[in-house]
Amino acid sequence: MYLLNLGLNLWNILLLTASLVLGFTGSRWHVLVALFAAVVSALVHGGSVALLLGGSKLVKEHLGRFNLPLSILDRLNEVYKAFVPRAILGAATMPVVGVIGGLVGTGVLPRGVHWGLGLAAYAYNLWLVPHEYRWLKKFHGIVLEVSRRLPSEEAMESTAPHPAYIPDQVILDLHGKAKALLFIGLTIPLAYLGYRFISGFAIGWLAIPTLVVTAACLGGSLHCYLRARRLPLAGLPPGPGAQPLPTGTPR
């Protein structure tokens, strides 16, 4: 995983460098290459975050199910807290610079703002390359250690779990629906505005459908949230997804 991330990050830097050079030389290819580089940059960092989140979930599940040392969880949390916020920031930098570039193209902002933010984002992506490699290499070591500590296939069924272990469940209760609708409702207008500002082309015919779908999602989110809050008051169970977990439960 960490070697794959390194290779993708090197391609990311290559594309960002090409975009930077084309921008400073005034090439007409700058916008096209910059858009492609911004998408690749977001996918590289965002994909690494998604892989680490999924892997962390599996590691925690195995720690609880097979009662492995919880010191591994402390090391996992250390990698998580160091990697995830910085990688998410890396995923957001280049799309933001692209939006600023679109505003420069339409005359809303001066060119110097785009140049300054672009250089800062480029430097941050350069800084991320060795650090993401180091953090993901540590995570890879944690995964290997967990796999080595697992009991044999014959002993798996008889191995007692951690006393506070609760099997992981995916539950889409009212709270989950509210969060999902909120995420969708906020994402749709961002995609519309992002295209408008990056490309510089108006797509007014999509404005009304975007507003309608956004309002429907946000309204549905609020409806689910209010229903979830009323359930305990009416004496109804809030659902398994709302049950508090014991402190320190590995999940």
Query: Which tens digit of pLDDT belongs to each residue from 142-181?
Result: 999 999 988 888 888 888 888 887 776 655 678 778 888 8
Give the end of a domain, one of 114, 148, 166. Answer: 166
Residue 63 has pLDDT above 60, yes or no: yes
Residue 17 has pLDDT above 80, yes or no: yes
Mean pLDDT throughout 104-123? Answer: 88
Does residue 249 form part of some domain?
no
Round to whole Å and give the CA distance between 35 and 195: 10
Does residue 235 form part of some domain?
yes
Mean pLDDT throughout 19-27? Answer: 90
Domain that residue 48 falls in: 1-166
The DSSP result for 42-93, as a single string, is HHHHHHHHHHHHHHHHHHHHHHHHTT--THHHHHHHHHHHHHHHHHHHHHHH
Which has the minimum average pLDDT: 77-91, 107-121, 187-201?
187-201
More reliable by pLDDT, 114 or 230: 114
Residue 242: pLDDT band (50, 70, 90) is very low
Residues 102 and 8 in one domain: yes
The domain total for the chain is 2
Give the end of a domain, one of 141, 166, 191. Answer: 166
Round to whole Å and give the CA distance between 53 and 65: 18
Residue 22: predicted pLDDT: 92
Give the end of a domain, one of 122, 144, 166. Answer: 166
pTM: 0.67
